[in-house]
Amino acid sequence: MNIQKKAFYTALPHTLPILAGFLFLGISYGFFMTSKGFSPVYPIFMSILIYAGSMEFITVGLLMSSFNPAAAFLLAITVNARHLFYGISLLDKFKNTGKKKLYLIFGMCDESFVINYTVKIPSDTDKSWFMVFVTALNHLYWAVGAALGAICGKYFQINTQGLDFILAALFIVIMLEQWLNQSDHVPAMSGLIISIICLLIFGDNFIIPAMILMVFALLMLKKYNEVRTNAVN
């Protein structure tokens, strides 16, 4: 079995839980776009070229409003600011990936980040190709879902209200799996508590301050663990 095929079959099972969530959410996005009068071409190409989940839903409103590129840019930065922290976390993992790094950066989403960052890749599997296939498969699931929704939405009227909860449920499952696989729950609890506090203080704009505080909290925890380890030794 060659390197690429081995990496593909190793990555595939980790992405299958994402398949269900992305298909349904992508379908709801496709229906949403066509319900606003857009041609199926829009959601199909946007899902391939933008590939930014929530930002694609927001783009519908931007396309229907007056032309304001500066506001659109600031909105996109705000909505996707968490990717800055994802990128910092993946600096070491993306080392020595060559030209694959360009696609890994472009195709990084929440779900691909979780898999690529947390999964222990077998020693007999090429790490860079594993991450590429995780990213590409999730990208494919979203694009296929959006295409199906767009095409069907042109001919059928279906109530898609509530389908967006699928992604939230998917994150809960991923979090529970990571919780069960980790013995140290302090980082997870820190993130949860910080998120709740920031939500109460900042409301819907809690993501960026929560991310910043999480980084500082995790750095402090890392420093504390290093000091404790040195003291024991």
pLDDT at 161: 64
Cβ–Cβ under 8 Å, residues 5 and 129: no
Angle (CA) 30-34-39 rounded to 5° is 105
Q: Summarize the confidence of residues 96-118 as an average pLDDT.
A: 90
Q: Which amino acid is at 24?
A: F
For residue 217, count other CB atoms closer than 10 A to its CB.
16
Distance CA 109, CA 60 (A): 20
Q: Summarize the confidence of residues 112-140 as an average pLDDT.
A: 91
pLDDT at 1: 60
Give the single-character DSSP code of 119.
-
pLDDT at 134: 95
Q: Summarize the confidence of residues 19-39 as an average pLDDT.
A: 85
Cβ–Cβ under 8 Å, residues 129 and 10: no
pLDDT at 132: 94
Please name which of 5, 43, 60, 3 lies closest in space to residue 146, comparing C-alpha atoms.
Answer: 43
pLDDT per residue as tens digits for the range 43-62: 999 999 988 877 887 788 78
pLDDT per residue as tens digits for the range 154-189: 877 666 566 556 556 656 766 776 677 677 778 788
Please name which of 96, 89, 115 lies closest in space to residue 22, comparing C-alpha atoms.
Answer: 115
> Any alpha helices (H) in 94-206, and if so which ranges?
100-106, 110-118, 127-155, 165-181, 186-202
Q: Summarize the confidence of residues 116-126 as an average pLDDT.
A: 88
Q: pLDDT band at residue 85, thresholds of 50, 70 and 90?
A: confident
Confirm whether pTM is higher than 0.85: no
CA 202 to chain centroid: 23
Higher pLDDT, 69 or 182: 69
Q: Which helix (H) or strand (E) holds 21?
A: helix 3-35
The radius of gyration of the chain's CA atoms, rounded to the nearest angstrom, is 20
pLDDT at 92: 85
